[in-house]
A = this chain, B = another copy of it.
Amino acid sequence: MDLLDILGPMRIFGEKNATVDLKINFIAPHNLNPVRSTQQVEITPHYTLDNAPKMDFFVIPGGMGARVYAEKKDVIKKIKARVEEATWCMSICTGAGILAKTGLVDGFNMTTNKAAFEWPVSLGPNVNWIKRARWVQDGKFVSSSGVSAGIDAALYILSEWTSFAHADVIATKIEYSWHTDANDDPFADKYPYTRG
Give the interface of A toward B (CB within 8 A).
2-4, 7-8, 10-11, 13-16, 23-24, 26, 34, 37-44, 113-115, 145-149, 151, 172-177, 179, 186-187, 190
Other CB < 8 Å A-B pairs besides A114-B175, A115-B173, 16 of them? A3-B7, A3-B10, A8-B8, A10-B40, A10-B41, A14-B40, A24-B39, A44-B44, A113-B175, A145-B175, A146-B174, A148-B175, A148-B177, A149-B175, A172-B190, A177-B186
Give Cα A14–Cα B38 distance, bound, in whole angstroms.
Answer: 8
Chain B residues with CB under 8 A of A172: 115, 187, 190
- Contact call B176/A179, Cβ cutoff below 8 A: no
A176 vs chain B, min Cβ distance (A): 4
A-B CB contact pairs (8 Å), 9 listed: A3-B14, A4-B7, A10-B40, A10-B41, A14-B37, A14-B38, A14-B41, A24-B40, A148-B176
Contact in complex: B147, A174 (CB < 8 Å): yes
Q: By DSSP majority rule, is chain A's interface helix, strand, loop, or mixed?
A: loop
C-alpha gap A153/B176 in the complex (Å): 13
The one of B3, B23, B38, B175 that contacts A147, using a Cβ cutoff of 8 Å: B175
The interface residues of chain B lying within 8 Å CB-to-CB of A2 are 11
Q: How far is B175's CA from A133's CA once the two chains are assembled, in angstroms?
A: 12
**Neighbouring B residues of A149 by C-beta, 8 Å:** 175
